[in-house]
Amino acid sequence: MNFPVKIIMRLWVGAVLIAGLSACANTSPTPMANSPLTGPVNTGTYPHFTPDPKGETTQFTPEEKEALRARTTAAKNSQVGPSSDPAVAARRQAEMQLLKKQQEDDLKAIEGR
pLDDT at 84: 67
Tell me the whole-structure pTM to 2 decimals. Answer: 0.28
pLDDT at 31: 63
CA distance 7 to 18: 16
Per the structure, the complete domain to which residue 113 belongs is given by: 83-113
In a domain, 1, yes or no: no
Contact residues for 83 (Cβ-Cβ < 8 A; gap 6+):
89
Contact residues for 88 (Cβ-Cβ < 8 A; gap 6+):
82
User: How many domains are there within the chain?
Assistant: 1
Ordered mean pLDDT values, 10 residues apiece, the chain (113 residues): 80 86 66 64 74 78 95 86 75 93 91 78
In a domain, 47, yes or no: no
